[in-house]
Chains A and B, each alone.
Chain A
Amino acid sequence: MTATLAYLRFELQRTLRTRGFLLFVLGFPVLFYLLLKDTAGTGFRPLGIPFAGYYMVCMAGFGAMITAINSSGPRLAAERSSGWNRQLRVTPLPGWAYLSTKVLTSLLLTLPVMVVVMAVAAVFGPVHISAVTALELLVALMAGSLTFAAAGVLLGYAISSDTANPMINGGLLLLAYFGGLFEPVAAMAAWQQQIAYVTPTYQLAAVGWWVLGGRTPLLPHALALLAYLIAFSALALWRVEVDEARSAA
């Protein structure tokens, strides 16, 4: 247990020291929020939520998701190629602790990102929600981010470290765009909406909209996120096994 905690502390410490990473995961959602919160014009209330709040969910979700994937995926890929995970494999640190700590770190790091986005939204939106609702939103989006952390693990084992960063972030931008995080789904063309409804990004945001009282059900979106989580986790574990069998072969 102490070994796992020490490893968790290390993972957090190291991330907080990587300033470029923080700038990226904090800067983009905040910047997009400030640039785009007014584009829809006043009176636009998708799902019945004022646009400032609707868009806060989009950007908090976007921030949470890029944090979750980026603090697991590219790092796992880099650690596999640098031999760091071999170095860990000869210590008594249990194998499961390595991956679960990565996932836990990813989830914990989504918190400060979402808090910053929501604080900016509260001031500049302005968004008026109760502290309880804000807390519910944090918990809901963080739980939903587990799906993206699992996707990060999968990508970390499926992609080489050279291509991990551009591939992951290019993919994320597309997913965010087609999932309606930048442009409200209601404003999309019909064919685009069909795509949006199947993206995991849309499911994550929809859970957030539900928390803010939007006219959308919780269960289908939560189940869709769970289905994605199971699929990503299964694929990730399969990749991990292939990788371990290969290195032990």
Chain B
Amino acid sequence: MKMLNIAYYTFIRNLRDKKSMALMLLMPVMLILILGTALNSAFEVSNIEKTKVYYINNDKGDIAKSFEAVIKSKEIKEMLEFIKTDEKETALNDVKTGKAAALIMIDSGVTDNIYSGESAEITVFEDANSYYGPLVVENFVKSFANGINAGIATQMLGNPNVTYGQKNMIDNKPVSASGKIPKAMDYYAVTMLVLIIMYGSLYGLFGFGDDYLGSMRTRLLSSPVNLFSHLSGKLIGTISSVFAQAFVLILFTKYVYKANWGTNVFEIILITLVLCIFTTAIGIMLVILIKNKDAAGALMQTIIPVMTFISGGYFKIITDNKVYNTIKMFMPSNLGQTAYFNSIYGDTPDQTYFCLAVLGIMIAIIIAVSSVVGRRRLR
């Protein structure tokens, strides 16, 4: 009962905080409207012209046959237009002038050389002034060569019946399913929701800082309530207030902005709840560790926009940079966004639950650290 009393009044106090309420509700409502309208064109899907590729196939063996089979597959034909030619100079000229992205040359005897253990090369001539087309061709040839190498290696291990089969050569995981692609408004409804939930950490941080590190500490901790009830009550009250505000934002964007929140209400609620728990817990942990709510608040207010930026919350960032992608992968904002997008658009619930599991582990670590350090700091 005492724990619920603390939770209830924490909830009431948070909702009466008009400044925070403006930050938590008005700011995202405005940002979604502005970004969703201004950047709408960036989310429109245009038809991408197929990349034209010449090839000269002088080989007569299995490699040549495999190559011909692969380039006729549906997946490859969607992206690349292969033109067989014998006129190398003309083809090279077209590549140089940008009329084609590349010329692939398979020399005669490639198959024989491979089977006899000698080196064999497939040569690619690329348009040096273009980026996208040659990149696709390069990836295609690399995948093809890897497939060949794997097939040969397996044959040498005593399995003569292995043939090279083309699999997904291009890793393409767009945020779309069932023929639906998020519009700008849909995208920012999710990313701004995650952003304000992250700002919810300030409720945990300042709420806990004010009550248990400030002048209120003596009064609260001298009451006949154990530390667990104090902390749990504070946590429940803060989570409830952040969740309530997030829920209002979801309803607003759904019915006013017509944002797509999918059909799986349970998952959306679950993701929101997990994010609210995470953000409240990290706010409390930070203030316990730093012991100064103003310093902890300043740090949090710096981290949140950076985290949102890295996670593509303000605009989508697509890059092959491994460091960036690794950092992004474990950003709580990104985990939240990925969980939402997969729930709304994806057909892979595993990805949603994977993100929730990672967030769950983070929450467990945060609560463990907070409990250990908090026990010492509050006594």
A, B in one complex: no
